[in-house]
Amino acid sequence: MQSWTPTRIAVGAAGAFALLYVAFGLNGWGSPAANEQAIGEISRWCERVHKGLLREPVNALGNLGFVVAGLAMLRTLGRDATIGRPNQFFGHTPVALLYASAAVFLGPGSAVMHGTHTFFGAWIDNLSMVAYILIPWLFNLSILGRWTSRTFFTIYGSLVLLYAVGYWFIGPDLGIGLELFDVSIAVWIISEVLYRFWSPAMRVGSGLVGFGVAFLFGITPSQMLAAPGEYWWVALFWLPGLLATHPAPATRRYTPWFWVGVGAFLIAYAIWLTGTAQHPWCRPDSLIQAHAVWHLLSAVATWGFFKFLRTEAPVTAGSQLAGVRHQSGSSR
């Protein structure tokens, strides 16, 4: 019975959210945010704006994928036999519950934005994305930096709170030109490279990986060099190398689940680019919306990364000795 408690809590929270959403929506959503369109017009994300509870019905309901994925994670964790498994993504460990809860939160967070077109909706949507994306790279750095669990959660909670307050009172870039979600994608990949290939030299050079990630999303090194004031945040690409003071004491299997997550997200991003009002493929009255597909595939990505993190296993004594010999030889 106890193993199912987090799942039941999440189901209850999702149900309570739905009831509150309807209760508030029956009174109307008031004036839209400054960057949203009027009823009857085509929204930023291609779908036509409707009256009623859901301004963008298809795009809003597409977020159910996150809720399903998160609940599936909680159910999986509840069924785990944790004896003999020193993996923090088995059973109801704090970080596993945080990850699964953040995945669930992505659903309501985005649904409020697409459903209400309010400033609050935009705020909680971005907050849910940041609350999710911080977890994997902070988790990696907590391992590589030998942080305590308390340190991990203190840093995580502080960053989420800082972003929430900063967005609400200043703006999504916190007044310093920092898109925390976007930068965190690069920092996550850099931290994963360090987890897999840690060495003193890699700590120094790992920041260069961030330029490759940025290039995938349309920002070239030449653009960054031409406007250092605008792209000052590339300095954060070296944050993982600075904090990753030790090699990982465990290994992870990257095939298939890491690549499932990466592939699902990259395909989702490619589709996301087509889901705008300006794109020639935009069909505002279609029941198939590109942005809704982005949500569904992104939910698949969260599941892929969850399964990937569950492949972590301690390094054996033999492999540790081989690693020491390799590092010793490479330093000569």
Note whether 194 and 203 are within 8 A (CB).
yes
**Half-sphere exposure (Cβ direction) of 26: Cα atoms closer than 13 Å:** 5
Whether the full predicted model's pTM is greater than 0.75, yes or no, is yes
Q: How far is Cα 85 from Cα 310, in angstroms, rounded to an integer? A: 10
Q: Percent of the chain, pLDDT > 70?
A: 93
Q: How far is Cα 292 from Cα 302, in angstroms, rounded to an integer? A: 16
Would the pLDDT of 309 be above 50? yes
Residue 196 CB neighbours (<10 A): 15
Which band of pLDDT confidence, cut at 50, 70 and 90, is reported for residue 321? very low
Would the pLDDT of 331 be above 60? no
Q: How many residues does the chain have?
A: 332
Strands annotated E in the chain: 250-251, 313-314
Q: What is the pLDDT of residues 85-124, one digit of tens each?
A: 789 999 999 999 999 999 999 999 999 999 999 999 999 9
Distance of CA 179 to the CA centre of its chain: 13
Q: Compute the mean pLDDT over every residue in the chain, rounded to the nearest whole number.
A: 93
Residue 47 CB neighbours (<10 A): 29
Q: Please tell me what DSSP assigns to residue 42.
A: B
pLDDT at position 82: 65
Helices (H) and strands (E) in the chain, counts: 14, 2
Q: How far is Cα 45 from Cα 56, in angstroms, rounded to an integer? A: 9
pLDDT at position 81: 73
